[in-house]
Structure 1
Amino acid sequence: EEAVLSLMLEDNYSKDEILELYLNTTYFGAGSTGIKQASRTYFGKAPSALTLAEAAVIASLPYAPTGLNPLENPEGCKKRQLLVLAAMHKYGMINQGQLAEAKAEKIRLTNGTVM
């Protein structure tokens, strides 16, 4: 059934549309569903205003949204964020300078915690 559904999705939507549907319905922890809500919950801003380092935090959350919730587990979330950034560099999505800058950035969460 899942294979048939995936084929139907691919026939009716582009890969970008499928990704958008997924990101708008995925749970990101702390009661946040979707990128927009997660961005507001953790950083108090719209997704378009996120830095690379902040976006990497959001990207790390679907792996374990409750366990990696940065408001509850900033250390664990930081470790996962660094893995996401390393993967982005490995696959050519960001350069060495962007990687270094994102790793060094101090991220302020809505609860005042700095990661």
Structure 2
Amino acid sequence: MSAFAYIGAALAEIAGCFAFWAWLRMDKSQWWLVPGVLSLALFAYLLTLVDAEHAGRTYAAYGGVYIVAAVAWLWVVEGATPDRWDMTGAAVCLVGAAIILFGPRPL
């Protein structure tokens, strides 16, 4: 469940931020803000579904998932092929997120 919440949150956050980007940087209509705000609210809600004891740890691990999703957005939505540095950086961040999530904790 947590993986789906993280992936959904990343897509919702990127879509919401992109709506603002489109409005401010691509001269799109202000109506782009409506789905953007709704998408950002969905992002916040989805992060609450992650099964973790502490919000800070959830947000820290989410950062790695967000970076991978942002590189995928770059490729799929914006049509820019990620280079080896994009892919390497995203992989390093995902490993860091896994360490945060799955590292042994004292009972």
Q: Do Structure 1 and Structure 2 share a fold, with TM-score over 0.5? A: no
Higher relative contact order (Cα pairs below 8 Å, separated by 6+ residues): 2
Q: How high is the TM-score relative to the length of structure 1?
A: 0.30
Q: How high is the TM-score relative to the length of structure 2?
A: 0.31
> Counting helix residues as a fraction of each chain, which structure ranks higher?
2
